Copies of this chain bind each other. A is one copy, B any other.
Amino acid sequence: MISEKMIHMVNNSSAIRAMFEEGAKMAAQYGAENVYDYSLGNPNVAAPPQVKETIRELLEKEDPVRLHGYMNNAGFEEVRQTIAEFLNRKYNTSFSMKNILMTVGAAGGLNVILKTLLNPGDEVITFAPYFGEYRSYVSNFDGKLVEISPDTETFQPNLKELPKKITPKTKALIINTPNNPTGVVYSEETIQKLAEILNEKQKEFGTAIYLISDEPYRELVYDGAKVPYLTGYYDNTIVGYSFSKSLSLPGERIGYLVMPDSLTDGDLIISAAAVANRILGFVNAPGLMQLAVAECLDCKADVEYYNRNRKLLYDTLKRLGFSCIKPEGAFYLFVKSPVEDEKAFCEKAKEFHLLLVPGSSFGCSGFVRLAYCVKYETIVNSIPAFEQLAKVYFGGDQ
């Protein structure tokens, strides 16, 4: 009796849930400390103490009617202004309050902007490997997700293939840098070439192609890697940001969209996005958290924690003969499966209590994703399991 679209979604989700449930079962059977769950992107780093302090102060000083009340669907005005000014200082931009829309996380923001932009049948391009939810988000508005095949050498976006995939129906391109699942940061050169291609195609087709930059991992970078701020490279850029990882608040659902004045039909998009936020049922981003994050823009979850995990896991896997790109950001490693069928590899890993996610979930089979936002001890304790796994494929002592 339910929606046919949803029956399909439930079946897909069941596979993922089955994996989680198997993980829980394994934890019950062998003890949680003996199961090495690299499947989930749930930060294991506490929110910076300023978050707690700020919330406590807000509860003391703010009138609860205002603190917990409705505000403009776009969010509290002073929160939006504070964020605009923060971005202007940091990225030399010139945003004001009107360019910022507070959202229920980046997932909320992406849905708001896709609702705003898409007509049924419109095409949205993304580069494989990509966060699998993009497919659902685009499908929510009857758009068509168009994949660009991966460059499995560098995991930079495959710009050779891009021009061939852009059509007059291309409404948007979603990119995600630092990237889930590869941890790769798109270089400035990549961004410049990408902007060039998009500008040419806009001219060729007389259309606007919006570049939607999904940036939940912007603050999580290592070794001084630079993440270009995309509005400076391409006029039709819309940024979706989340505090889920930067402040370790994933369950609080707080983020924002940046919609610059330079957008084609910018004013209309800005108005429509606020309406979309309302009618999709978000109404507004959670109020207390809006006010809290605005006072914590200079804070950051402990990136060194992730960096230590990154080093240990990367070095271990390389030492054991696995091959993967050293990530410059986010908290994922994308490892080449030693056999073509990466699902079989995941099954084998499970025998050693290692839970990995097949790359086909990200539109890139032949690889597996490891989320290293786990406890450091989990990585230490999992090393013998990886050693045994390596032996299966590479033999001998590693």
List the interface of chain A (C-beta within 8 A of B): 1-7, 9-10, 13-14, 40, 42-47, 51-52, 55-56, 59, 63-65, 67-71, 104-105, 107-112, 115-119, 133, 136-137, 140-141, 171, 207-208, 248-253, 264-265, 268-269, 271-272, 275-276, 278-289
Contacts and interface: CB of A to CB of B under 8 A. Distances in A.
Contacts of A253: 104, 282-286
Given A69-B42, A141-B3, A107 B47 contact: no
A59 B68 contact: no
A70 B10 contact: no
Closest 7 A/B residue pairs (Cβ)? A251-B287, A111-B281, A136-B279, A107-B281, A46-B64, A108-B281, A6-B272
A42 B64 contact: no
Indicate the member of A14, A68, A282 with the most B CB atoms within 10 Å.
A68
Contacts of A68: 47, 51, 248-252
Contacts of A9: 272, 275-276, 279
A280 B55 contact: no
Interface of A is mostly: helix
A29 to B, nearest CB: 20
A185 to B, nearest CB: 24
Given A65-B43, A286-B286, A13 B281 contact: no
A206 B50 CA distance: 58
A64 B248 contact: yes
Given A56-B56, A107-B281, A288-B252, A116 B6 contact: yes
A119 B283 contact: no
Contact of A140 (B248, B252, B279, B289): B279
A286 B207 CA distance: 38
Given A280-B111, A281-B108, A275 B47 contact: no
